[in-house]
Amino acid sequence: MNHEEQTLIDGLFGRLQQAEREGVPRDVQAQARIAEHLQQQASAPYYMAQAILVQEAAIKRLDEQNQQLQAELS
């Protein structure tokens, strides 16, 4: 893992920690279902974090492309 990857992972978990502090209500049934899956798939958090970071990068690229296209139209 390089420094950039570490920064991305730390940033993701920082945002998750902020959501937890803000007291967003949790769906008890959903939380129980997630816990069941985590018992069966202990490595799921790794793959979930990886998927989130890939999706965030894709969204960022698309946003940049959108801004560039809007600037060209102006």
- Helix (H), strand (E) counts: the chain: 3, 0
Distance between CA 6 and CA 18 in Å, rounded? 18
49, 9 Cβ separation under 8 angstroms: yes
Between 56 and 25, whose confidence is greater?
56
- Is the alpha carbon torsion for 10, 45, 19, 64 positive or negative? positive
pLDDT in tens, 2-54: 999 999 999 999 999 999 999 888 999 999 999 999 999 999 999 999 999 99
Domain ranges, residue 27: 3-73
In the chain, at which residue ranges do the beta strands (DSSP E only) sit? none
pLDDT of residue 22: 94
pLDDT in tens, 65-74: 999 999 999 8
Q: How many domains does the chain have?
A: 1
